Amino acid sequence: MTYARIAGIGSFLPEKVVTNKDLEKMMDTSDEWIRERTGIKRRHVVSDSETTASIGLAAAERAMADAKVGPADIDLIIVGTATPDKVFPATACMIQRRLGVKGCPAFDVQAACSGFIYALDIANRFIKTGGATTALVIGAETLSRITNWEDRGTAVLFGDGAGCVVLQASDEAGIISTHIHADGEYEDLLHVPCGISIGYDQTRSGRAFIEMNGNAVFKRAVETFDKIARETMADLEGEIGDIDWFVPHQANMRIITAAARKLGMPMERVIATVDEHANTSGASIPLALDQAVRDGRIKRGDTLMFAAFGAGFTWGSAVVKY
C-alpha cells in the first residue's frame, strides 16, 4: 500500500514585526488587554513588496531543501490560502512558475483557517491513488491586507506568514487519518463581506476587511476542536494518550487551552506559537510544526494530531506519523 509521508518542512515569516505596544499607538487597546484575551505578543506583517506567493515560495524552497528534492521532483502543488495574490491565476501557479516546475497540477484551496488541513487531505489522496509522488502542500497568508487596523476586535488577532510540507509516496505510514468538514450555516459569524460578485466597489476602495462575532466564534471553535479530536480517535480506535503532540490551528491561546483541556491533553504536549505569530490562518499549523521540529520538541517517529477551525465554518484534522 502507498502512503504519504512528510519528507521536509519549511516556513517563512516577514521581517517586519508589529508588537502589542505598536498597536497601542494605533487604537484603543493595551498590551495587557491583548495578552489576557488572546495570548498574543506580536505578529509579523508583510512589506509592500511581499505577497502571498512570494512568502509561500520562500517556505516551499526551504521545505524542498529540507526534503532534498528539486523542481523536477515536484508533481503536485496545492496552496491553502484565503488571501491569494490575484483572483486568478492561482497562487499555486505563480509559485510553480517561480520554482521552475513544469506541467504538474497546481491549484489553491480556500477553506480559511482550515486551508492547510484541506490541502493536506487532498494531497494525501493524490499520492495514495497514484496521482502524485512528491507534493508541495503550502499554507500562506497575508491577512494584514484584509485587516482593519482601526478595529481592535480583529486587528490584534492576525498576522502574516507561510509554511510548507513536502509529501512523498512511501511504503511506511505517514498520513494516518484525515477528516474535513464544513457547515455554511455560520457564514456570517466570521467573514469578509466584500468580494468580486458581492460589494466589488468596496473591495476596490480598500474597505473589504475581516468581520467577526468573537464570542460566537470562540464557543463554536472550542466545541468543534473537541468534536474533531473525538472523531479522529474513534476512527483510529485509540486514545488521546496515543498522540505525542497536538498541533492546533493557532487562533487564540484561550481557544487552544480550552481545546486541550476538553481533550485531556496536557499543555506540555501542545505546540503553541500564537504568542509570537498571532493567527496566520492557513499558515499557522505548518509554521507551528516547523518551529517545533527545529527546536527539537517534535522528532521523527512522533505521532501528531493537527486540527483546525475556520470561517465557513470549516474544520478538519489529520493524524500524522512524522
Active site residues: 113, 249, 279
Q: Strand, coil or helix: what is 83? A: coil
Task: Give the other-Cβ count within 10 Å of 216's Cβ.
Answer: 13
C-alpha neighbours within 13 Å on the C-beta side of residue 248: 31
Q: Strand, coil or helix: what is 277? A: helix
What span, in angstroms and rounded, lies between the C-alpha atoms of 301 and 321?
Answer: 6
Reference 9, options 271, 265, 229, 275; nearest CA is 271
What span, in angstroms and rounded, lies between the C-alpha atoms of 168 and 154?
Answer: 37
What span, in angstroms and rounded, lies between the C-alpha atoms of 175 and 299?
Answer: 16
Q: Strand, coil or helix: what is 19? A: strand
What span, in angstroms and rounded, lies between the C-alpha atoms of 160 and 277?
Answer: 8
Give the CA radius of gyration of the chain: 18
